[in-house]
Amino acid sequence: MDKRFPLTTAFAEAIVTCEPLKNEAAVQAARTAIIDWLACAFGGAQDRTTRILLETLPAGSGNAVIIGQERRTDALTAALVNGHAGHVLDYDDVHSSVRGHPTTVVVPALLALASDIKISAERLIAGYIVGLETMARLGLSLGMKHYENGFHATATLGTIGAAAAVAHVLRYSLEETAVALGLAATHSSGLRLQFGHDAKPYHAGMAARAGLISARLAKAGLGGASDFLDNPIGFFSAFAFGEEHPRAAIESWGSPWQIVSPGLTLKAFPCCTASHPVAMIGLQLHQEGLRADTIDFVTFTFPPGGDAALVVTNPTAGIDARFSAEYVFAAALIDGALRIDHFGERPVREDVMAIARRIRRRHDETAPRLSNDPKTRFVIADVRLADGERLTRDFKGLPGLNDPTGKFRDATGDHPAVSAVPELVRTMLSEDDLYRFLNVLGQRLT
C-alpha cells in the first residue's frame, strides 16, 4: 500500500482484489438486475433521443453492440448510446446509497469492453457488482449535499464506478486502478438541472463512456493522480461540500455487497423513483374505487428533501411528467396503471392534469431529512373530497419488482428474436456465452 495515499490505495485494492463471484446472492441479484436493465434498454432503443445520438456522434468503426440496433460501432460510442437508451424511459433500477441509477452506467461500459476484449460472462457480472459497489460506497462517503446542491450522482459516481468495473475485470495493478479512478473523477460531471430533459438519460451514457476511456487511458500510460480520495483538493473537496465521510468509501466493502443490501430497487413504473410512493397510493385509491371527479384537493407530505428529484409540477408532455408527483398520482388514480405510454412524447392528458392541479406538496420538518437510508422515505396523501370527507393514505420506503421477466416481455413486445435473453442472462458463464448474448442484443425489434 502506498503510504502517502492510504485511502485511495485501500479503495483501489478493494476494487481489484475482491471476489464477488463467491457470493451467490450478489451474483443472482446482478443477473436479475441485468434482465431488468435490458428491458429498459430495448424499450429506449428506438427513442427519438437515442436516434439523435446515433445521428450526431461520429459513426465510429468497431464491433461494439448497440442494443436493439443492427449496426455496430466503436466501444466508446456504444457505451454512450446504450447508457442513454437504458435510462431514457427512467424505468431502470435505483440504489439508495448511490442516490441514482448504477446499472445503466456500469453495464454499458462492460458490454462495450467485452466487444473489444474476450472476457467471460462471469467476469462481466463480477465487474458489474464491483462497479455498483464503488458507486454505492462513494455515495455513502460523499454525504447528501453532493446531490442536493445539484450534482446528478448517476453520472458523477457512475463515471468512477464504470472505471472501477473495467479495472476489476481486466485485473489492473493497484497503481493503474488508482490512476483510472482519478481520471474518472476528473471526468466526473452531470447536473441535476437537466432533470426532466433529454439530457438526463444522456448523463448515464456520458458516464459510461467517460469511465471506459478513463480506464483505457490509465492502462495506456497517460499519467494521472493516484490520490483522488486523499488529496486535500481532490474528490471530496470539490464534490462533498464539507459533508464527506471518507472512510465510508472502504468500510464494510462487500460485507454485505451493496447489490444485496440495501439492494437495488427495480422499478415497477416508468417514471422517477421518487414518485413511486405516490404512484402506489394512486393505484391503491383506484382499487378502492375512488372516483377522480369526487376530489376537491390533495396534499402530499414528504420528509425534507423527499421530493427533490420531482422538479416538475406542471408537465406539458409525458417526458417531463416522469418527474411530476402530481401527474404520476393522478394518472395512477384515474387509469389504475402506469405504462410506458403515460410517459412518452405526447402532451399530457387534460383529465389527468385536472386532478394534478388539485395537488399541493408540503414537508414534515419534524421528520428526518431524506438520506441514503431507505427508511427515511415516506409520503402521506391527505385527500379532501368535494363532499367534505377526508381520506389519508401513506406509503413508506419504495415499492419494487422482484422478477423482471414480465417487464422484459412487455418492453420487447415479446419479440421472438430476444425472448431467450432472460434465460441467457440467468445462466451465462463463459466467454462463448457472453459472445452469444452480445449477438442477441444487437437485433432490431421494429
Interacting residues with a second copy (CB under 8 A): 48-49, 52-53, 55-62, 74-77, 148-152, 155, 182-183, 185-194, 196-199, 202-203, 206, 213, 216-217, 220-225, 227-228, 231, 233-235, 237-238, 241, 319
In the complex, the smallest distance separating the C-beta of residue 43 from a second copy, rounded to whole angstroms, is 19
φ and ψ at 301, to 5 degrees? -115, 120
In the complex, the smallest distance separating the C-beta of residue 258 from a second copy, rounded to whole angstroms, is 25
HEC sequence for the chain: CCCCCHHHHHHHHHHHHCCHHHCHHHHHHHHHHHHHHHHHHHHHCCCHHHHHHHHHCCCCCCCEECCCCCCEECHHHHHHHHHHHHHCCCCCCEECCCCECCHHHHHHHHHHHHHHCCCCHHHHHHHHHHHHHHHHHHHHHHCCHHHHCCECHHHHHHHHHHHHHHHHHCCCCHHHHHHHHHHHHHHCCCEHHHCCCCHHHHHHHHHHHHHHHHHHHHHHCCCCCCCCCCCCCCHHHHHCCCCCCHHHHCCCCCCCCCHHHHHEECCCCCCCHHHHHHHHHHHHHHHCCCCHHHEEEEEEEECCCCCCCCCCCCCCEHHHHCCCHHHHHHHHHHHCCCCHHHHCCCECCHHHHHHHCCEEEEECCCCCCCCCCHHHCEEEEEEEECCCCEEEEEEECCCCCCCCHHHHHHHCCCCHHHCCHHHHHHHCCCHHHHHHHHHHHCCCCC
Instruction: Give the residue with the Cβ less far from a second copy, 194 or 371.
Output: 194
Instruction: Give the residue with the Cβ less far from a second copy, 200 or 286.
Output: 200
In the complex, the smallest distance separating the C-beta of residue 83 from a second copy, rounded to whole angstroms, is 14
Instruction: Give the residue with the Cβ less far from a second copy, 234 or 404.
Output: 234
Distance (Å, rounded) from C-alpha 37 to C-alpha 29?
Answer: 12
Distance (Å, rounded) from C-alpha 172 to C-alpha 182?
Answer: 14
In the complex, the smallest distance separating the C-beta of residue 122 from a second copy, rounded to whole angstroms, is 27
Instruction: Give the residue with the Cβ less far from a second copy, 96 or 214.
Output: 214
In the complex, the smallest distance separating the C-beta of residue 176 from a second copy, rounded to whole angstroms, is 14
Instruction: Give the residue with the Cβ less far from a second copy, 172 or 202.
Output: 202
Using N-to-C axis directions, what is the helix angle for 153-169 and 121-142, rounded to 10°? 140
In the complex, the smallest distance separating the C-beta of residue 62 from a second copy, rounded to whole angstroms, is 7
Instruction: Give the residue with the Cβ less far from a second copy, 177 or 412.
Output: 177
Instruction: Give the residue with the Cβ less far from a second copy, 344 or 400.
Output: 344
Instruction: Give the residue with the Cβ less far from a second copy, 128 or 151.
Output: 151
Instruction: Give the residue with the Cβ less far from a second copy, 59 or 386.
Output: 59
In the complex, the smallest distance separating the C-beta of residue 81 from a second copy, rounded to whole angstroms, is 12
In the complex, the smallest distance separating the C-beta of residue 104 from a second copy, rounded to whole angstroms, is 16
Exposure class string for 287-310: b at 16+ Cβ within 10 A, else e: eeebebeebeebebbbbebbbbbb
Instruction: Give the residue with the Cβ less far from a second copy, 160 or 280.
Output: 160
In the complex, the smallest distance separating the C-beta of residue 36 from a second copy, rounded to whole angstroms, is 26
Question: In terms of C-beta density within 10 A (0-12 exposed, 13-18 middle, 19 or more buried), how is residue 5 classed?
Answer: buried
In the complex, the smallest distance separating the C-beta of residue 194 from a second copy, rounded to whole angstroms, is 5
Instruction: Give the residue with the Cβ less far from a second copy, 59 or 429.
Output: 59
In the complex, the smallest distance separating the C-beta of residue 63 from a second copy, rounded to whole angstroms, is 12
